Amino acid sequence: MNIVGITACPTGIAHTYMAQSALEKAGKKLGHKVMIETQGAMGIENELKKKQIESSDVVILAVGCAIEREERFNGKKILKVGVAEAISNPQKVLEQAEKLMTQEV
């Protein structure tokens, strides 16, 4: 699967990056391509390009606060989870994304 997503926590420091790392590592382990944009204290980092979003199978929003430019994902299958869930059980999050991908929008 080709997965894109955003991680963001209220303070935008540690948990944002921990969730990004956990999802990317679990994705690699499961054979998925995972690209994660972070939104936090430093603003938007690793900003997803339009082409990356368009070619994605599913979008994971691992967030604990409002994010910027969420409308970029209109029409895509979106899985919303908490930042803590992405950190503590990233494989489960990716399995949920796999199930979502097989469902009709």
Cα angle: 78, vertex 84, 89; to 5 degrees = 80
In whole angstroms, give the CA distance from residue 51 to residue 42. Answer: 24
Q: With CA atoms as reference, report the closest residue to 80 among 64, 97, 65, 60.
A: 60
Residues annotated catalytic, as ranges: 9
User: For residue 14, what are the contacts with CB-CB under 8 A and spacing of at least 6?
Assistant: none
DSSP code of residue 71? G
